[in-house]
Chains A and B, each alone.
Chain A
């Protein structure tokens, strides 16, 4: 759990550097500060369970055990990436380990994951699905419709709202009609729970219970992980990057003091599960693997122009 959180942090930090140097073009939405939500929930899943992400989803496939070489290459737009370099930052998918993919269209993955859960039910199979969406997405119609159907049909899906408190620059307190997004669950007829999203173990516990509910046919669960995005909404969108008036430096600093990696690390050291030296070794190992991923991405070729129209459509018969 700790290694995966460090991996996400270092992966995102490397991306920031590569974006600044011009190696990566386009916008990047980093996940730094929110690692505990993805990792705490993903470790409660099996490999054949599905996850679906959003525009801020580099962390989710890494938490699920994805290949950081392929993820890095994809974000670089290179041929060895997860989607052959044609998807980019918001499209990391690997069906072999249950990563359904992501989308820049806010809340659009919520019905995708709900559909995967419907497939599990119709096929009478044991897998479940889990979808990550933000506080902004929680207000979208697709989100409400999915939750309604999932509760009505008792689908094995877990809705994880990563409430990082801002939809770009709009505070959820100014845009969400209830105090906690998890409060909405009871209106759909499913349980909802507010969890400390900076604490991976708290996320793990809540997800474990939700997984048990889903697998035993009790239906969906809404988990709201209260967390915080340290960085700008996105890198590469100058107008958004410059506007920091929506939150104070003190607020950012306050949340940095409850850093999710530090929370888990200090817990493990206090419990004498690891030592500082062992933590340093884990960090060093992850640093090397991320450096290798950057190197892998740099060396990978861009897709050729004649491949532009390849892979646009899948064969529905073969896929089924």
Chain B
């Protein structure tokens, strides 16, 4: 039991830009419209109101995605829009996550893809999240209908038991010259592309190495390569490290993998192995970019050595099945 937590309140962070990037062009990813997100929030409020949540903190956005929900449920739920300095940029999400943690909300419901969940969880210490997918490649967030997400979040607040009804997820930490610079929840892709540009990664020929913390038989994106190789879920303290390309002996291992929606590639595997937590692995490439959960985020040059480590102290996530059956 977390006695200091305000279990009568929750936080909501909706990434207004999720489901809109270049993967609509380079793959067959669908556009996730603002209207759809607004509808999900409306249903989320229904679930929250039904289980007695009285106060909701919401990250603001230009489109005012939460407006319909907060107006319709104004008599049951008090909505407080976090006062962020700017809207619709990463900094907005960071400010909102920090503010919600400071308010000690019962949990934060995050609507977005792997990248959104990464950004939010990076700035939380102990507030649990309920990640709901509105992104492109989504292994971390759940494909959960808004009403059910609302019920799960609200019931979690009634149960008031962080240890029993949440999991601690793992994360991959990225070091530049041994200094921790960022983290990722699902995958770290080392790309030969020398710039961040449009962020997404879609050309497998530019990928040199992949580090994965989480795989699933139904996963899509670079983590699906991991499942194609190990053909099972990873244990909690294990990740998988894959090198792409041909070896000196010819006959590289070739696998087919869905690296983006509608984009299935034949991938040549130079080698792969599982690794345990707390073991720092250096990347081979001397310059390029590091993509975190599908988005090029870090550039590096020959004077900057990049290494990756699996850490099991990732964010707390709600155990939806256990909560709903409690």
Contact = CB atoms under 8 A, between A and B. Distances in A.
A182 interface: yes
B63 to A, nearest CB: 4
A180 B24 CA distance: 14
B198 A196 contact: yes
Interface string A183-214: 10110000111111001011011100110010
Contact of A179 (B25, B34, B86, B299): B34
Interface in B250-306: 287, 299, 301-302
A213 B24 CA distance: 12
Nearest to B62: A173
Contact of B301 (A185, A201, A272): A272
A191 B20 contact: no
Nearest to A251: B86
Given A202-B198, A271-B301, A193 B62 contact: no
Interface string B195-215: 111110000000000000000
A204 B198 CA distance: 9
B17 interface: yes
A286 B228 CA distance: 52
A206 B22 contact: yes
B24 A191 contact: yes
Interface string B1-43: 0000000000000001100111011100001011000000000
Contacts of B287: 271
A186 B36 CA distance: 14
A210 B22 CA distance: 10
A150 B171 CA distance: 45
B245 interface: no
Instruction: Say what secondary structure dominates the interface of chain B.
Output: loop
A195 B195 contact: no
Contacts, number: 71
B20 A182 contact: yes
Nearest to B65: A179
A131 to B, nearest CB: 17
Contacts of A54: none
Contacts of B17: 194
Contacts of A194: 17, 20-21
Contacts of B21: 193-194
Contacts of B197: 199, 201-202, 204-205
A272 B288 CA distance: 12
Most buried by B among A186, A191, A209, A273: A191
Interface string A201-236: 110111001100100000001000000000000000
A92 to B, nearest CB: 29
A64 B197 CA distance: 20
Nearest to A271: B194
A277 B195 CA distance: 21
A183 B33 contact: yes
A271 B299 CA distance: 8
A254 interface: yes
Nearest to A173: B62
B31 A179 contact: no
A191 B24 CA distance: 6
Contact of B34 (A183, A186, A210): A183
A267 B299 contact: yes
A192 B32 CA distance: 12
A193 B21 CA distance: 6
A254 B86 CA distance: 10
A320 interface: no
A202 B24 contact: no
Contacts of B62: 173, 179
Contact of B195 (A182, A201, A210, A221): A201
A178 interface: yes
Contact of B196 (A191, A193, A201): A201
A192 B30 CA distance: 10
A270 interface: yes
Given A183-B20, A194-B21, A209-B22, A271 B198 contact: no
B20 A180 contact: yes
B22 A271 contact: no
Contact of A210 (B16, B25, B302): B25
B299 A193 contact: no
A270 B299 contact: yes
B269 to A, nearest CB: 26
A221 B199 contact: no
Residue among B20, B24, B34, B301 with the highest chain A CB neighbour number at 10 A: B24
Contacts of A221: 25
Interface in B42-78: 62-63
Contact of A209 (B16, B25, B34, B63): B25
Contacts of B299: 267, 270-271
A183 B34 CA distance: 9
Interface in B175-223: 194-199
B292 to A, nearest CB: 17
A180 B35 CA distance: 12
A177 to B, nearest CB: 11
B198 A186 contact: no
Given A179-B34, A209-B22, A254-B86, 20 more contacts: A178-B34, A179-B16, A180-B20, A182-B24, A183-B20, A185-B24, A185-B31, A192-B31, A194-B21, A199-B196, A202-B22, A202-B197, A206-B22, A209-B25, A209-B26, A213-B25, A221-B25, A271-B287, A271-B299, A273-B194
26 contacts: A173-B62, A178-B33, A179-B16, A179-B63, A180-B20, A183-B33, A185-B31, A186-B31, A191-B24, A192-B31, A193-B21, A193-B24, A194-B21, A199-B197, A201-B197, A201-B198, A202-B199, A206-B25, A209-B22, A209-B26, A221-B25, A267-B195, A270-B301, A271-B287, A272-B302, A273-B194
Closest 9 CB pairs of A and B: A201-B197, A202-B198, A205-B198, A179-B63, A179-B34, A202-B197, A209-B25, A194-B20, A205-B197
